[in-house]
Structure 1
Amino acid sequence: MASLMAKKVAHSLRESEKKTRQVFKPILDNPYTQSTTWPFVDPKTGEDIIVLLEQLLAPIGSHKQILKDNATNNSFVPPEKPQVESHVTLGFNSTVKTLENQASITRKRVFGTKAKVEKSSRFVKYVFVAKYDITPAILLNHFPVLAFTSSRSLEERVKLIQLPKGAMARLSKATGMDHLGIVGLEHDTDAAQSLFTMINNGIGNVEVPWLMGIFSESKSIPFYDPSVRFLSTTAPIVSKKQAKRLSQEPEQNKEQKKQKIDNAA
């Protein structure tokens, strides 16, 4: 009887061992994943910034409202556009397009184009983003790299400012534009100098270590061999029969079945 029990236990252990296998999962130390880090903005500074930004953009909204109110008045003489409107980009498309044009200057220099690159007098240096109000968040993942590459130099970098939650509604109200969550301002916007001073003193620069070389005279961008390590672990073995049965089951039962296999292993 004892011999029979021992055989059953040994058989059970062997069956249990057959259901798992050793696997090695690669762990990659990837420096490029550090390129989505945004400069920190403390809550008070963020609130002060959005207040000043609302005041700066309010003339744009007022101008739009005046035009709307007098749309049917044939004798109405429209007032001139607010001065700030010529120094601002409003919305995702216009801001990204401007930053990409700025980044193309650096791109041409780094890759040794023969064409002469002229610096544009227009330089959007401050980019405000209602990060917590824009969905999906993946739309904004490239902004840190874009801000860095659209800078003129390490000393004259584009500032990326994440605004507090609820900023989109406030920007929309100030400008009269629906769902406005991104605003760019040129470096020489006279009416925004106090806002710029607050940002320069209170918010750090975007840091993209692996791209630091694009502004050097040697035009060298440092690349390094990837650091790959392997983690030894186990994984359940699913037979062809089990895999086929899983594929035929309703989607809602698949996770339950996989869980049972994992628990059995």
Structure 2
Amino acid sequence: MPAVSDSSRLWLDVPFAEKDDAKRLGARWDQKARSWYAPTGSDKDLARWMPLPELLPGEDREFGSGLFVDLVPSSCWFTNVRSCVSPRDWERLRFMIYRRAGYRCEACGGERDSAAGVYLEAHERWIFLAGNVQVLKRLICLCTLCHEVTHFGLARLRGRGAEALEHLVAVNDWNSHTARGHIDDAFQLWQTRSASDWTLDITMLTAVGISAAKPPTAEERRHAAAEILSSNDDLHLAAEPPPDPQVLPPAAWYEDPTGEHRWRWWDGNTWTTHVG
């Protein structure tokens, strides 16, 4: 994992696809820190890659703490943060989220373990207010296992419901009865929330200059969700949208161009032997 510690440098969050553009505009690569930085006097040209503040405006890093099932209402499908912001801004968000969490899961404290297929992933915490407004309140770093529990419907759809249940029990030190009751409550809440149309509020992001694309209308979301559900009866049990076919690598890792491994580390000049 990157260990950016030199506070005298202005570090940048540069997606791999934009490394050549950043280099052309003056960005330099620090081999030891494995990160791009802006030399003195070039910060204006490189502003698009400036790291985001570790606490976003209005964010509550205590909100939604711990591990729990957090199902997305069907009326909110296709309105997640990733679908509303540019790939560059999503990368900036991911880098910041992982970095401020110390590259550990904020639910169980676990670290990335590529051998076990466990990575770090970004997840949104929303608060649902009167007036049917869905407000982004926090972005949290979760490991693959905790993220699977959070989207328990997808875990069930993928045939991993038992594994997700086991992880929920272990992390929260619950018995099976308590965990199953929590899951049942989460699905009941999902049904209640899915009966309403929600307006997305991501002011937390737009306040720091992140542009958001206009999400699908409530009618468009419901139509798309109905089509998906009608084409796959199993999704009624999942209470989640289908998995996103585009899988993002962990922060600062990229798809292995050789195809031999899932991810490979780029050191700024060449592909390294670090794989995942």
TM surpasses 0.5? no
Q: RCO greater where, 1 or 2, for CA within 8 Å and sep 6 or more?
A: 1
What is the TM-score with the length of structure 2 in the denominator? Answer: 0.22
Q: Which has the higher helix share?
A: 1
